[in-house]
């Protein structure tokens, strides 16, 4: 994978058409449907007759493959700085569920899926688009509940199987591809993670990453696992968990994070507290966690993500970190937020060059 910095959005594409007439709103809604993956509940599929179930699932999967390909084409047409995409997990709905799993085993359906994913993966590589998955919180490797562990491993293997069919299933984080998860329960915690990890396939282990969070495991704890798995630094989670600390690229913990990736360019996450949460927000000053807590805002209030990357001071921090890591932008406005951040970073670089 090339070493230029990248940033991008997560899972869902939001059309840029502004709200206006009914026709404009309808066009935006149709564009969103075309560009985004969809799903169906297993309860709904279970109520259908076998032929109808097969038809319904087949239509959803074909739509999802086409939508994923459109997202990658869109990202691949953006400037190099923006060629990163977190893929939604519902590419193949119910892949491990007893209701849908037999359908995925049918030879013609399996072949169509494999061919489609192989084509999409090749296209992503040709366009230089870095890809990732971030399964939901139920995908964990530390728990006292054996069923939760089995489900977590199954979800991880499902995501690894998709990457494998896309051509990202051989070697250590090929082309920067990765599947990012949280650790799981405080009990058994880090020791439980270490105990469970050997049960995961080599393919999935070579794609796995873990991130710090504000409720379970902070950055310093995660660094004790850096010998096993790459660490994803989440700046916003760290800000909340630490009570307001901002990590600069020169922080001594950046070195171990980079080393945990073993030669692959690391990934980091960023978000910011919601717009309008407190009066007189200054976009050119980093939010002051201690002052906001003293003003009555809860940690949960401050942890919630904004729509756009409204804080220019934080965006400048991201620009500094791009020297060593790529960034997934975890904002609710998805591509609108990542494009806005990229435009600020490009403008800053242009101004810097003009001043030299």
Judge whether residue 341 has pLDDT over 50.
yes
Q: What is the CA radius of gyration of the chain?
A: 21
Percent of the chain with pLDDT strictly greater than 70: 97
Cβ 75 vs Cβ 67: under 8 Å: no
Q: In this structure, what DSSP letter does residue 277 have? A: S
Confidence (pTM): 0.96
**Rounded Cα–Cα distance for residues 304 and 175 (Å):** 31
Q: What per-residue confidence (pLDDT) applies to 23?
A: 63
Structure tokens at 12: 């869902």
Structure tokens at 140: 């964990």
State pLDDT tens for residues 154-178.
Answer: 999 999 999 999 999 999 999 999 9
**Rounded Cα–Cα distance for residues 306 and 293 (Å):** 18
Q: pLDDT band at residue 42, thresholds of 50, 70 and 90?
A: very high
**Mean pLDDT, rounded, for 345-354:** 84
Q: What per-residue confidence (pLDDT) applies to 1?
A: 46
Percent of the chain with pLDDT strictly greater than 90: 91
State pLDDT tens for residues 176-233.
Answer: 999 999 999 999 999 999 999 999 999 999 999 999 999 889 999 999 999 999 999 9
**Rounded Cα–Cα distance for residues 240 and 218 (Å):** 10
Residue in this structure with the two tokens 């971030």, named with its chain if needed: 134
Q: What per-residue confidence (pLDDT) applies to 21?
A: 62
Among 2-6, 7-11, 16-20, 215-219, which is the least confidently predicted range? 16-20
Judge whether residue 332 has pLDDT over 90.
yes
């Amino acid at each position: 994978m090339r070493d230029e910095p990248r940033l991008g959005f997560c899972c869902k594409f939001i059309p840029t058409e502004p709200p206006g007439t009914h026709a404009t709103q309808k066009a935006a809604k149709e564009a969103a449907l075309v560009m985004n993956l969809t799903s169906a509940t297993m309860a709904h599929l279970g109520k259908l007759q076998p032929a109808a179930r097969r038809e319904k699932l087949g239509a959803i999967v074909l739509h999802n493959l086409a939508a994923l390909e459109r997202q990658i084409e869109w990202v691949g047409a953006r400037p190099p700085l923006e060629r990163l995409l977190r893929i939604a997990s519902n590419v193949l709905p119910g892949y491990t569920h007893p209701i849908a799993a037999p359908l995925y085993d049918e030879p013609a359906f399996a072949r169509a899926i494999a061919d489609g994913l192989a084509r999409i993966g090749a296209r992503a590589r040709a366009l230089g688009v870095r890809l990732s998955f971030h399964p939901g919180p139920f995908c964990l490797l530390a728990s006292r509940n054996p069923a939760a562990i089995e489900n977590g491993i199954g979800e991880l293997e499902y995501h690894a199987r998709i990457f494998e069919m896309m051509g990202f299933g051989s070697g250590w984080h090929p082309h920067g591809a990765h599947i990012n998860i949280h650790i799981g329960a405080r009990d058994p915690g880090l020791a439980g993670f270490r105990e469970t990890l050997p049960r995961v396939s080599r393919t999935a282990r070579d794609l796995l990453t873990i991130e710090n969070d504000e409720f379970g495991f902070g950055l310093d704890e995660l660094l004790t696992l850096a010998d096993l798995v790459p660490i994803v630094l989440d700046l916003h989670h760290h800000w909340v968990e630490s009570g307001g600390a901002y990590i600069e690229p020169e922080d001594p913990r950046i070195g171990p994070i980079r080393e945990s990736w073993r030669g692959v360019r690391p990934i980091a996450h960023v978000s910011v507290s919601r717009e309008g949460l407190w009066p007189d927000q200054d976009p050119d000053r980093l939010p002051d966690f201690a002052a906001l807590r003293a003003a009555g805002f809860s940690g949960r209030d401050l942890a919630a993500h904004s729509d756009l990357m409204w804080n220019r001071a934080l965006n400048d921090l991201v620009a500094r970190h791009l020297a060593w890591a790529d960034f997934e932008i975890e904002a609710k406005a998805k591509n609108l937020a990542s494009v806005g951040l990229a435009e600020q970073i490009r403008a800053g670089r242009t101004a810097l060059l003009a001043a030299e």
